[in-house]
Amino acid sequence: MLGVNEYRVVVMRLIIALIAMAGALWPPPATAESVAFDAFCHAVTGTATPDSALPRLTFACRGAPSAYQQGSLWLRTDLRDLSVDRTDVALMVRQSRFDRLAVAFTYADGHVVWQQVASGAFGAHWRVGGQIAFEAPVRDASLVAATMRLDRVASHNLLRIRIITGAESATQSAILAALTGAALMLLLVGVVYNMSLAIAVRRQFLLWHGLWAACVLTWGTLWSQLELIVLPGLAGTTAARICTFLACAAITAATVSAVTSIERSLLPRWATTATLALGIAIGVLGIPTAIVRGAAIDGLGQMLDLLVLADLAAVALLLGWAWRRGCTVARDVALAWSVPMAALGFIQIVDVGGALWGGGSQMLVLFAAALQTMWLAIAITRRIALLRVERDRARAAEKRASALAGRDPLTNLYNRRGFIARTTPLLGAERPAEVPVALLLIDVDRFKSVNDAYGHEAGDIVLCNIARRLQRWESVSCAVARLGGEEFALAITGIDGFALVRFADSVRQELGAIDHGAVIGERPVTVSVGVTQARDPCSFQQLYRHADAALYAAKQGGRDRVVVRDIAIAGKASPVPAEPPSTNARIDPARDDLPSRVSRIT
């Protein structure tokens, strides 16, 4: 099922397609005349016949000319039969494949003015938008007829002729130039974007889509004749042949792009193979269609029209099939392709003629291609943005999960895993030389009796009270953790000797002074602390073994006390005594000013 926003997108694209098609069929101004081939009388001669033979030619006004591809096709129309202003006439011809095109304007006094272009030499007659303009000189006598002579023209069916005023010719050419330039600029942006995106995200269909946009961009540049600004020799047959091949190659690339955008598992293999075969067949058939000059070009053109319609239908079915099976990429591609597919199908069925300021079906396709390229680029950008948001959310969730994995759920202090990760940099070689690091293991005295007497909920509150007090020492140089049960740990750098002993005893006293009266009344809660330190790099396990031995000595010595175990780790830890220390741990004579609840063992 489509969501509301997707329905809006579909409707918007269909409206745009209908507007574009309506513009193609919109009637020209009253002063313009799109001349059908039936309005011309025709004659066929050899190419050696001089232009001056025009008055002696016999023209046939019925039927279709034949056998003219290797000779000259003459087309004559009586301007007095057309609703045009004969004082200001411009003959606009959409270029086809010919060697030479000469236009004769015949006036009422019998005077004839000739203008001509040749393949590779259009001079000043070419206009942006694939047209050639011939403007009749203004004379006292009125125009009565216009005659075109085409030498070695490929097919009269490819000709599109309009007769308008000179002023309209200038205005329409300017409009067509602006619109063509805008469409080509959008296509250029699409080519660069899709190619760079294909390289960045390594998606095959984006590469094919970029190739399609590049073919359309090159085709549009050649068709519009903009390349004649720098390469005038491409005018005429050469550009027309290249355009034919590029148009077929573009359809092939578009077909491959659409098919490769869908996961192979979503579609049967025969369907994708058949669709790809249709697209490739169009590209292959484009080669002889671009080369041939004879009457066979009409038959090849009809074959291409049928293949294009079949290809459009196959691609539409594949995209619709994948869309229904939940493929979001197929949905984006289908919505983006809806307008150019509709335009291509439309021009295969309907002869647009000289609509869209003379640009005709080519201009319609160029507009649709530019719109599709930008629309798909926006859709892909939106999709990538959503993927990045999902990726960032996943990374944030992973980071939170990792943080939670290193935290004790009851007290929110580091657990053993988090504490080891936090203290490893403090213990390793990256710690500045000779900076001491100390580990304090803190155990709540007789905590089991608290749980037994007041319940585990009261015991948890006692542990949380102790954790909150320990958290006050948390800093860059000090890490605090709950290692499990009633055992806590504190790692600190930068202090040693007497200062460390004083610090450890202050921790003991402050934890023992916490008020737990709300849950256990006046009962005191004390802690025992085992302390050890090192100056050289060491592992957490090494430091922990010595601190645990000191904590054991504190417990054995009567609890509510601090026991310091001196070690000197220099590559190897000092050996741990096989037997636990005596309960009567002695006071270091050098530290006889220490509190009575502080002992030092070695």
Integer Cα distance of 588 and 602 in angstroms: 10
Integer Cα distance of 547 and 532 in angstroms: 5
Q: What is the mean pLDDT of residues 54-79?
A: 92
pLDDT score of 75 more than 90: yes
Half-sphere exposure of 513 (CA within 13 A, CB side): 8
Radius of gyration of the chain (CA): 44
State which H helix or E strand residue 123 sits in. Answer: none
pLDDT in tens, 510-541: 999 999 989 998 899 999 999 999 887 788 89
- Joined together, the tokens standing for residue 201 give 């995200």
Note the pLDDT of residue 516.
Answer: 93
Q: Looking at the chain, how many residues does it have?
A: 602
pLDDT score of 490 more than 50: yes
Whether the CB-CB separation of 414 and 481 falls below 8 Å is answered with yes
Whether the CB-CB separation of 545 and 441 falls below 8 Å is answered with no
pLDDT in tens, 164-183: 888 888 888 888 889 899 88
Integer Cα distance of 347 and 368 in angstroms: 12
Integer Cα distance of 249 and 218 in angstroms: 11
Least confident of 39-53, 172-186, 311-325, 399-413: 399-413
Give Cα separations from 147 to 20, 112, 144, 236, 355 (angstroms): 33, 10, 10, 19, 23
Whether the CB-CB separation of 125 and 266 falls below 8 Å is answered with no
Integer Cα distance of 448 and 456 in angstroms: 9
For residue 332, which of 12, 4, 10, 1 has the smallest C-alpha distance?
A: 10
pLDDT score of 431 more than 70: no
pLDDT > 70 in the chain, percent: 87
For residue 536, which of 440, 439, 432 has the smallest C-alpha distance?
A: 432
- Joined together, the tokens standing for residue 190 give 């699409």
Q: What is the mean pLDDT of residues 358-381?
A: 80
Considering the candidates 33, 135, 168, 486, report the single residue annotated as catalytic.
486
> C-alpha dihedral over 77, 80, 84, 90, to 10 degrees?
40
Residue 486 annotated in active site = yes
Integer Cα distance of 202 and 62 in angstroms: 59
Integer Cα distance of 212 and 216 in angstroms: 6
Integer Cα distance of 266 and 262 in angstroms: 7
Place of tokens 């921790």: 507
Q: What is the mean pLDDT of residues 196-224?
A: 86
Task: Look at 547 and 342; give whichever has higher pLDDT.
Answer: 547
Whether the CB-CB separation of 293 and 155 falls below 8 Å is answered with no
pLDDT in tens, 214-272: 999 999 999 999 999 999 998 998 999 999 999 999 999 999 998 988 888 888 999 99
- Joined together, the tokens standing for residue 555 give 């417990």
- The DSSP symbol for 134 reads E
Helix (H, G, I), strand (E, B) or coil at 154: coil
